[in-house]
Amino acid sequence: MGLGGVISNILSLGAQLLPVLSASTQDPSYSSYSSSPLVENNQLETELKKLTELWARIKATLSAADGREIRDDSAKLWLKELERLAYDAEDVLDEYHYHFLEAQVEARDASPLNCHKMKLIQVPYGMLNQIQQIRSKFAELEIDRIALRLLEEDGPRNCNSDLQIAPTSHLVVESDIIGREREKEELIDLLSSESQDDKIISVVTIVGTGGIGKTTLAQLVFNDQRIRQKFDKLGWICISEDFNVQRLTREVIESITGESCCLANLCALQEKISKEIRGERVFLVLDDVWNENRSHWELFRRPFMSASLVKILVTTRNEHVARIMQTMPTFNLGYLLEEQSWKMFQHHAFGDVTQNMDSKLVKIGKQIMKKCGMLPLAVKSIASLLRHETNEESWKEILESELWESDAGNEIFPSLQISYARLPTYLKPCFLYCSMFPRDYHYSAKELVKLWISQGYVQNNGLKNTEKIGWEYAKQLWQRSFFEGKYRKKEFYFTLHDMVHDLARYNSGHGCYSVEGDMIPNFPKELYHLYVGHRVKLVEPPHSGKFATLRTLIVGDCAELFLSAFDFSKAQKLRALQLGSRKYDLEFHYSFVNLKHLRYLFLSDGCFARLHGCICSLYNLQYLTLDNCPYLTELPKSIGNLIGLEELIIRGCKDLRVLPVSLCRLIALRKFDLWACSKLEELPHDMGKLMNLQLLRICFTNVSFLPPSLNKIMRTPALKLNVRLLCSTIGWLGDFVDLEGTLSLIGLSCVHSLKDVLRANLARMHNLKRLILTWIHDRSDINVHLDGSVLELYIVGNGGVNFEIDSDEEEDSEIDFSLMVRLQAHPNLKELNIQNYRGSKFPAWIGNPTLCTSLESIELFECNFVTFLPFGSLYNLKYLKIWWCSSLQFIQAESLPLLLEEIDIFDCKRLKSVMGLQRLKSLVKLDITDCRKLHLLDHCWTTCIITVDSCPKLREWCSQHEIFYKGTESDSDEDC
């Protein structure tokens, strides 16, 4: 590992170690004792405190070393030894913390008569000896710390650990690409040209060094409208080092169809793609190809012969790869012109403010830019760094850095290495951690942050949520051009450019390792973070001890052979474990009991029916995700023992039928997410005990009501609900007077009793801000955006409607009116949305200014029997939307309150006139669309922006008032 990486890793550990003991050693109700009869009760605590004090001194030394350009080999060896010892110290203190949590669980389970008894923290035999050995070794290293030569003249110091980075636009807008216009046009001409001699498959290869912009150029070509219009099917495939024909064929199918493909057999995959493209014109980009095996390429291209034309654009650094694949001349991509390089440098270093640039910084910047060799990635990287350096001295330090003379054998590497060296200490381990993943790996930003937290890399100052701080770390790495980001399936993902990935690997040494495909693993002696891809076999002898230091293990899909041979009892230092293979069975993994340090556990696609109870002794566990485990029927009854669990996510576990009662004892739980567990019918009754809950999400389950105890935590300002339930009654809502955010009732036509509606008593929900009332399940609320806290109830009937009302109210209109009367909201309500209401009028409470004091917005969708709008007295109403209300003929002055600011009317087929607009001095926007009988429109104030579309009888009115009319000349009054 690079020197900076070692230092920053140790400092991150130290940030987590120091507070571990505070809760236990300072609380008089706790006492530690060793299982050894030779150890006095207070001797262990004394040693732990001494170790913590020593850590503070070591941390101060490391802080002085971080950021210096120290290249002395003895210093590196000293730091490597310190790193090993730091991990040992962390393990000891972390294990003590584990037993502290264990004591809490045992005390909680004790009888009420013993609840005030001293809580004993039992630690294993040998811990005292371990601590003494660590302190002794630390003392030896402290004597040798002169190896670091921490003197002022030894090199410049980077003081940037407390940078506050302002948001910048250039790192968000991917289209800000400078140069390459000529190259783009040449490639498009080459790909667009056709002749009678053309083969079905034509291949153009872009060849150039890493970081020169091959992928960027390919993206420009791929997104050009001329290419998109010329070809029927387009696909983008990132190849990287593993040219696995089966995987790549599946990815081509998914890319050109936009749909997931579950086929596993190569023959079936090739038949599928051959059928999809038969007779079509196809354009593919194969990005970052390294394959030099011609037979693999021939096998991959075989099914494309069914197309009428195939053009393939390949990017590669390897000339030999180009010769194997190409059918057309190689496109060699050169460096940027100096003018283009400077323009790019300006954009990333100075932003859009180029008029008043500091002349001294400009002079230094041009010298730095030339050192980047006109390579786009190098220029972008170093310029992004300089954007956060505010003084001339810092720019000079970068210009004169010895790292420009790096012997890494790559012309782009020095600029990247300088950018890395000047990263704040807290960002370095987070960046290096990503070197564990293979090239071109897309990792979820949410999961990556949780993995960082599991390793102790995210330093919480107590003022913010730890995940938010972790996200700030990720954003800073993104802003500094270390990360590239994109949205995929409504979630944000990061990836590393190949050269940036090489940088991370270079600085992380051998501690981070990935293996996939047909590679034969050659695990390093000291392995901390391991990613295992598909089809990997474990050839390492279980007794080799190489997994003893492992802190992260991520096993991808189809790695059953690896898992079947892996012994978890040999990896007791694991902090993070992710298993994504389809055929593993955790019922027999009792060795999980040894994973005392585990903080992150992500299990997906498992074939197990239950989780082994030993998982409930993982007291340090913070994050537990069970994703798409279709055979899981139950959770362990003692899951409440996971006293440190902060996040529980259960998704796609369709056989899960019950949640254990002890789940309500997860006092640290902040996020509980239940998604697509279709057989789950009920939540534990005491969920109101989860007082730290901040997010509760329940969707696509068979749960029909929320337990009343949850109302206790509705008062918590931090709580956010995202709950969607199928229910036959809504009376239980009466227990939730503190419900906040949005309540959406869908399918009100299926409500079986007016008494049930009265029991719901919406008028008591004083914190409710938005109410959506929909009478049918086939919703038309495509314009309704649900955010914040949302409780959405889909009401299903039980054998038909059985309303307890008089016979003269049997008509649908009267039934809906009776319902609406009883759905009266609290005066604090701000937004009301009504859909598919069949009443001819609204109840009095909707137009009463006393009962709708705070109402600011009303939206009506498909209220097809309403003939009058009683909103004139609602003095706070600002926004009115009326869509598809087919019986509404007149909107009178008394229907519109004086402070109304926006009116949106759409497709009201019988609407003839809208009057009273001249009274509305606050009106700023009026949109009227597709109201073909509307012929009378009151005059508006000149400050109002009026849009009229497809209302033929208003064409002349628009002309008279000089208002643009959007309808066409073909608009006819005949059918109006």
**What DSSP line would sit under 585-632, residue for residue?**
-GGG-GGGGG-TT--EEEEES---SB--GGGGG-TT--EEEEES-TT-
Q: Which two tokens stand for residue 663?
A: 């789940």
What would the pLDDT profile of 321-350 be if each residue is shown by its tens digit? Answer: 888 888 888 888 888 888 888 888 888 888
Asked if residues 835 and 772 have their Cβ atoms less than 8 Å apart, the reply is yes
pLDDT, position 632: 92
Q: Residue 22, CB half-sphere, CA atoms under 13 Å: how many?
A: 5
In sequence order, the 6+-apart residues with CB closer than 8 A to the CB of 478 are 171, 484, 485, 494
The percentage of residues in the chain with a pLDDT greater than 70, rounded to a whole number, is 80
In terms of residues, how long is the chain? Answer: 976
- Considering the domain architecture, whether residues 66 and 132 belong to the same structural domain is answered as yes
Residue type at position 907: D
What's the rounded mean pLDDT across residues 103-119? 62
pLDDT for 682: 93
CB 203 within 8 A of CB 321: no
Name the DSSP letter for residue 35.
S
Mean pLDDT: which of 59-68, 381-390, 538-547 is highest?
381-390
58 and 200, same structural domain?
no
Instruction: Identify the pLDDT of residue 783.
Output: 46
Residue 967 to residue 930: CA distance in whole angstroms: 9
Q: Give residue 231's domain range.
A: 181-332
| Domain stops at, among 304, 332, 360 | 332
Q: Round to whole Å and give the CA distance between 769 and 783.
A: 18
Answer whether residue 873 is part of any domain. Answer: no
In a domain, 280, yes or no: yes
Q: Which residue in 2, 94, 14 sits closest to 61, CA to CA? A: 14
Paired tokens of 323: 């010769």
Q: For residue 800, what are its two tokens?
A: 């038909």
* Residue 698 within any structural domain of the chain: no
- Reported as a single tens digit per residue, the pLDDT across 706-751 is 999 998 888 777 788 899 998 989 999 999 999 999 999 999 988 8
Element (H, E) at 254: helix 245-257
Reply yes or no on whether the pLDDT at 619 is more than 70: yes
In degrees and rounded to multiples of 5, residue 949 shows phi and psi of: -135, 125
Task: Classify residue 328: in a domain, yes or no.
Answer: yes
Q: Kind of pairing, strands 790-795 and 831-835?
A: unpaired
**Up-side HSE of residue 971: CA atoms within 13 Å toward CB?**
20
CB-based contact 504:432 (threshold 8 Å): yes
More confident residue, 24 or 255: 255
Cα distance between residue 815 and residue 795, in whole Å: 16
Distances (CA, A) of 682 to 30, 624, 627, 673, 687: 38, 21, 20, 14, 11
Confidence of residue 31 (pLDDT cuts 50, 70, 90): low
Identity of residue 976: C
Q: What average pLDDT does this structure show over 396-403?
A: 74
Residue 222 to residues 225, 878, 952: CA-CA distances in angstroms? 8, 46, 43
- Does residue 732 sit in helix, strand or coil? helix
DSSP string, 335-368: PPPHHHHHHHHHHHHHTT--TT--HHHHHHHHHH
Q: Check whether residue 7 and residue 149 sit in a common domain.
A: yes
CA–CA separation, 644 and 669 (whole Å): 8
User: Within a 10 A sphere around the Cβ of 550, how many other Cβ atoms?
Assistant: 23
Q: Using CA atoms, how far apart are residues 497 and 504, in angstroms rounded to an integer?
A: 11
Q: Which DSSP helix (H) or strand (E) runs through 578?
A: strand 576-579
Give domain status of residue 268, yes or no.
yes
| Cα distance between residue 3 and residue 66, in whole Å | 8
In tens, the pLDDT along 419-459 reads: 787 788 889 999 999 999 988 888 899 999 999 999 999 98
pLDDT above 80 (res 108): no
Task: Give yes or no for residue 167 having a pLDDT over 50.
Answer: no
Q: Are 350 and 342 in contact (CB under 8 A)?
A: no
Return the amino acid letter for 667.
I
Domain boundary among 302, 332, 362: 332
With residue 296 as reference, give the H or E element that holds it.
helix 294-301
**752-766 b/e (C-beta count within 10 Å ≥ 16 → b):** bebebbebbbbbebe
Q: What is the dihedral of CA 615, 616, 621, 622, to 10 degrees?
A: 120
Beta-carbon contacts of residue 863 (< 8 Å; ≥ 6 apart): 834, 835, 836, 837, 839, 885
Q: Helices 376-386 and 498-508, interaxial angle, to 10°?
A: 60
The CATH number of residue 265's host domain is: 3.40.50.300
382 close to 419: Cβ distance less than 8 angstroms: yes
Query: Is 343 within 8 Å of 369 (Cβ atoms)?
Result: no
Asked whether the beta carbons of 342 and 371 are under 8 A apart, the reply is no
Tokens found for residue 956: 């002349």
The kind and range of the H/E element at 273 are helix 266-277
Count CB-CB contacts under 10 A for residue 278.
Answer: 12
The whole-angstrom separation of Cα 297 and Cα 319 is: 15
Q: Please tell me the distance from the alpha carbon of residue 365 to that of residue 380, in angstroms, as a whole number.
A: 12
How many CB atoms sit inside 10 A of residue 658's CB? 14
The label of the residue with tokens 């007295």 reads 873
First to last CA, the chain: 77
Same domain for 105 and 13: yes
Residue 63 buriedness (CB in 10 A; 0-12 / 13-18 / 19+): middle
Backbone angles phi and psi of 692, in degrees to 5:
-95, 5
Total number of domains in the chain: 2
| Beta-bridge partners for 487 | 492
pLDDT range class, residue 889, cuts 50, 70, 90: very high
Residue 193 lies in a domain: yes
Neighbours of 495 (CB within 10 A): 19
What is the 3 state secondary structure string of 657-676?
A: CECCHHHHHCCCCCEEEEEC
Task: Report, in angstroms and rounded to the nearest whole number, the Rg of the chain calculated over CA atoms.
Answer: 33
Residues 242 and 114 both lie in one domain: no
Highest mean pLDDT out of 39-53, 515-529, 592-606, 709-723: 592-606
Choose one of 154, 169, 201: the last residue of a domain.
154
Residues 192 and 309 in one domain: yes
Same domain for 326 and 198: yes
Q: Are 324 and 318 within 8 A, CB to CB?
A: no
Distance CA 364, CA 58 (A): 37
Average pLDDT for the chain: 81
* CA pair distance 564, 559, nearest whole angstrom: 9
- Three-state DSSP state, 38: coil
Q: Which two tokens stand for residue 24?
A: 């236990």
Say if residue 834's pLDDT is above 80: yes
Per-residue confidence band for 502, with pLDDT thresholds at 50, 70 and 90: confident
User: What is the Cβ-side half-sphere exposure of residue 292, based on CA atoms within 13 angstroms?
Assistant: 4
The better pLDDT of the pair 58, 298 is held by: 298
Task: Specify whether 147 is located in the same domain as 214.
Answer: no
On whether both 10 and 132 belong to a single domain, the answer is yes
Co-location of 287 and 186 in the same domain? yes
pLDDT of residue 899: 94
Nearest CA to 653 out of 700, 599, 598 is that of 700
Residue 591 CA to chain centroid, in angstroms?
Answer: 31
Q: Quick one: angle between helices 466-479 and 445-454, nearest 10?
A: 120
Q: What is the pLDDT of residue 810?
A: 47
Question: What pLDDT is recorded for position 515?
Answer: 86
Is 185 in the same domain as 307? Answer: yes
Closest CA to 608 of 577, 586, 627: 586
Distance CA 293, CA 300 (A): 11
Whether 133 and 200 map to the same domain: the answer is no
- Output the DSSP codes for 911-947: --EE--GGG-TT--EEEEES-TT--EE----TTSEEE
Q: Is residue 34 part of a domain?
A: yes
Per-residue confidence (pLDDT) for residue 62, from 0 to 100: 61
Per-residue pLDDT of 756-769, as tens digits, reads 999 999 999 999 99
